[in-house]
């Protein structure tokens, strides 16, 4: 039988486990660019997509999620996704399920 631990030690252990679990999943999401973990909480701004190649547009992730194919010359650099300026940029950064 295990020794009982204090409430403070239990809470600290729980916090460490939660942070450890979600820190790893957040890092993976950030690398993929899909569903950026902080897209709903931080301030993001649209920017013009610039590439070295001929294609100077990206597929809009909101349109793609709704079975529409739409190319946009705008992106969110912080989230690393292509987005239509209106209304998709706002939808992506304000709605949990777009």
**DSSP-based three-state secondary structure for 58:** strand
| pTM for the structure as a whole | 0.59
pLDDT value at position 62?
94
Q: Which helix (H) or strand (E) segment is 28 a member of?
A: helix 7-32
* Cβ(48)–Cβ(74) below 8 Å: yes
> Nearest CA to 95 among 45, 34, 30, 40?
40
Do residues 25 and 61 touch, judged by C-beta distance below 8 A?
Answer: no
CB 74 within 8 A of CB 46: yes
Which DSSP string corresponds to 70-94? -EESEEETTTTEE--TTTHHHHHHH
pLDDT above 50: residue 29: no
pLDDT digits (tens, 9 = 90+) for 65-86: 999 989 999 999 888 899 999 9
Per mean pLDDT, which range of 16-20, 46-50, 79-83 is the poorest?
16-20
């Amino acid at each position: 039988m295990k020794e009982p631990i204090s409430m403070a030690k239990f809470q600290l252990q729980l916090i460490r486990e939660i942070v450890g679990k979600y820190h790893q999943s957040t890092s993976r999401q950030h690398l993929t660019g899909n569903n950026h973990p902080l897209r709903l909480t931080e301030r993001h701004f649209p920017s013009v997509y610039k590439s070295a190649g001929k294609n100077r547009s990206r597929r809009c992730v909101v349109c793609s999620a709704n079975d529409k194919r739409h190319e946009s010359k705008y992106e969110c650099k912080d989230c690393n996704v292509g987005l239509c300026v209106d209304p998709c940029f706002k939808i992506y950064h304000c709605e949990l399920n777009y």
